[in-house]
Structure 1
Amino acid sequence: MNQLHWLLRAKRWVQNPPSPGRVKLVFAAVALCLAIVGIEHFIGWPDWMTVNSLRQKP
């Protein structure tokens, strides 16, 4: 039943495709996320973005 739902959704998407601006927006968001992941992987996580513990250590 779930496959039928996705086929109907794909049919509607083909009949009314998104605008080129929406497609560019989605690709830009994905590219930004991949760039952040790549920077984090190759360069590392900056110390200023690390959360400090709020608990006092004995």
Structure 2
Amino acid sequence: MDPYTRLLFLMARWWRNPPSRRALIAMGVALAVCILLVTVERTVGWPDWLRTERVPMRRLPAP
């Protein structure tokens, strides 16, 4: 299903049955944390100790 159609269905369901206040606060906090992480990453950069290095996959021997 198209993501925009799915979002439209979600918005219609929320219009008929709005989420509770606690759910709205939880969604708002999650959104704020995401925006904060993106802002820190864009302005300061990501710390070296949080970066991952690609590890080559080890091939298993054939039986």
TM-score (norm 1): 0.66
More helix by share: 1
Q: How many residues get paired?
A: 50
Measured at CA, do residues 48 and 15 of structure 1 come closer, stay the same or move farther in structure 2, by a change above 3 Å? same
CA RMSD of aligned residues (A): 2.5
**Alpha-carbon offset, residue 13 of structure 1:** 2.6
Long gaps (5+) in structure 2: 57-63
SS in 2 for 1:45: coil
**Alpha-carbon offset, residue 53 of structure 1:** 4.0
1:32 aligns with 2:33: yes
1:20 aligns with 2:27: no
Percent of residue pairs bearing the same amino acid type:
34
Distance 1:13 1:54 in 2: 43
Long gaps (5+) in structure 1: none
